[in-house]
Chain A
Amino acid sequence: MTTKEDLLLKLKTIITPYVQNQEGLENLNEGTDFIKDLEINSANLVDVVLDVEDEFDIEIDNEAMEKMLTVKASIEVIEGKLAAK
């Protein structure tokens, strides 16, 4: 069973290469918004989703992807997909 802390840590590792605002990364928390707070380029959101799929061996459909704009929403999506495995 992966804990929420583990998830957050793994997610942080995934998003780090795409972050353009390092300050946002240092203050990373559940409320962090990928675009607003981390200035991740919107084309790179796809890379985040693909990296999450690879890391957790899950498939993220468009409906789930649509929500993945914040740390909180992403963790919820990952937890949901892991539970359904």
Chain B
Amino acid sequence: MIGNDIVDLQLASIQSNWQRRGWLQKIFTQLEQKEIYNSSSPDLQVWKFWSMKEAAYKAHQRCFYHAPTFNPNKIECVSATSVCIEKYVYELTTEFTKQYVYSIARSTGAYYYSKIFQAEINPREELKKLILSSIRKKDRLYFKKDSNGIPNLYIDGRCSKIPFSLTHHGDYSAYVMLS
């Protein structure tokens, strides 16, 4: 399974004050909090962990068809490359620049294809193009969210079950698809 999450660091600094009393405690486990405080760049570490948790949550939710919940404390970054949710472990890849942090969570060993976009480009359309090029048919493709809010890709009216994930924040967006 697969999930991704991108954080526009500039927007995050405007939208969220992670130093607000209680904020870190509501989101991060004690282990994570310790690592944030010990980090040479706590600000970046907050968003790294956050994007890892979000990406893993999305992969987990897609895997188990869970209804949405909000309990980031139950999702733990156990290392820089793994996140644990209810005993399930996801493999994480996180990259960052001065502008963004981007995480991909996947079931251990899964291969994926991912692309990051800036500003105006719609990752949904890009993902459509990519899939259309591989099925070589002029099928009608569209996205539809299920009752849990998880998007699915429909090809000619049928749910394709293609595992993918989309993310957008501020000036950045991305898609990831299992290959």
**Which A residues between 29 and 81 are near B, CB-CB below 8 angstroms?**
35-36, 41-47, 49-50, 53, 62-63, 65-69
Stretch at the interface among B64-72, B78-86, B104-112, B157-165: B64-72
Shortest CB-to-CB span from A39 to chain B, Å, is 11
Interface residues of B in 1-57 (CB under 8 A from A): 12, 15-16, 20-23, 26-27, 50, 54
B114 CB–A CB distance under 8 Å: no
Are A50 and B70 in contact (CB-based, < 8 A)? no
Chain B interface category by residue count: 20 to 34
Q: Are A69 and B70 in contact (CB under 8 A)?
A: yes
Answer yes or no: B74 CB below 8 A from chain A CBs.
Answer: yes
Query: For the complex, what is the distance from the CA of A69 to the CA of B15, rounded to whole Å?
Result: 18
Q: Is B73 an interface residue (CB 8 A)?
A: yes
Determine if B26 and A46 form an interchain contact, defined as CB atoms under 8 angstroms apart. yes
Do A44 and B54 touch across chains, with their CB atoms under 8 A apart? no
A50 CB to nearest B CB, Å: 5
Chain A residues contacting B16 (CB-CB under 8 Å) are 41, 43-44, 46-47
Q: Are A68 and B15 in contact (CB under 8 A)?
A: no
Cβ distance B137 to chain A, nearest Cβ, rounded Å: 32
- Residues of B with C-beta under 8 A to A47: 16, 20, 23
Let me know if B71 and A66 touch, CB within 8 A: yes
Query: In whole angstroms, what is the CA distance A55 to B54 when docked?
Result: 28
20 contacts between A and B (CB under 8 A): A42-B54, A42-B70, A43-B12, A43-B15, A43-B50, A44-B15, A44-B16, A46-B16, A46-B23, A50-B21, A50-B23, A50-B26, A62-B74, A63-B71, A65-B70, A65-B71, A66-B71, A66-B74, A69-B68, A69-B70
B-binding residues in A (CB < 8 A): 35-36, 41-47, 49-50, 53, 62-63, 65-69
Q: What 13 additional pairs, Cβ within 8 angstroms, besides A46-B26, A46-B27, A65-B71?
A: A35-B68, A41-B15, A41-B169, A42-B70, A43-B50, A47-B23, A50-B23, A50-B26, A62-B71, A63-B71, A65-B70, A66-B69, A68-B70
